[in-house]
Amino acid sequence: MTLFSLEGKRALVTGANTGIGQAIAVELARAGAYVLCAGRRSCAQTVDEIQKVGAHGESVFLDFADPMAGAKNIAAYGELDILVNNAGIIRREDSLEFSEEDWDAVLDVNLKALFFTTQAFAKQLVARKSRGKVVNIASLLSFQGGIRVPSYTASKHGVAGVTKILANEWAAKGINVNAVAPGYIATNNTEALRDDPVRSAEILSRIPAGEWGKPEHIAGTAVYLSSAAADYVHGAILNVDGGWMAR
């Protein structure tokens, strides 16, 4: 077994029906984990992709419209070793016009659900005295302000902070809590930006790699943080951004 093998591990990936979550689920499975692919929509396509690479997983329904849904259901998923908090939503509007409804919806899914799902996962690990890995999906907007996405920016700053505090509290318990901060990745969340020729050109002009990222670019980092290779990595937020933050 190599440092990067996940053989014998059981993982839960939220928001695994498409995009980054789907890519992460497939790569965790390829590395040997049995992956529970969670989403508010069917993850059957993700499970099909997992089976195509000769690996194993299943689709489970999890809707963070109730931010406590993960915490309520985590016991039903069996003994988990890896949690990838990928589920997230975004709302775009000028800050002068931004609604309370859109603020609460984004914070509930992106931050409250993440914290309490992770808390329930960690309680399970502590109770059985097992090691575990948490991989949160942060953002470039964990470090920057962005434009017209106030609740998303607040939530992703929060994800960075929660990643660090949980690492501080749980590292000695054998639980690694880290995050990946994707750059501009071609997913549903960035479709509006990619369809705007002005904004798309502005973004591409700053990325040293000169192109939008792909979900698969995030998946390898998630596998690393879920593996024994990252056993001494705690509270890290790894940028996978084509060089954006170095510019």
Per DSSP, what are the bridge partners of residue 96?
none
pLDDT surpassing 80 at residue 113: yes
pTM over 0.85: yes
Contact 170, 178 (CB under 8 A): no
pLDDT tens digits, 61-105: 999 999 999 999 999 999 999 999 999 999 999 999 999 999 999
- Among residues of the chain, what percentage have pLDDT more than 90? 96
Q: Where are the domains of the chain?
A: 10-246
Lay out the sheet containing 175-182: strands in order across. Answer: 57-61, 34-39, 10-14, 82-85, 132-137, 175-182, 237-240
Tell me whether residue 152 is one of the annotated catalytic residues. Answer: yes
Catalytic residue, from 77, 152, 184, 224: name it: 152
Q: What is 10-246's CATH number? A: 3.40.50.720
Residue in 134, 180, 142, 184 with CA at minimum distance from that of residue 160: 142
Q: Residue 155: pLDDT above 70? A: yes
In the DSSP assignment, the letter for residue 117 is H
Dihedral pair phi/psi, residue 178, rounded to 5°: -140, 175
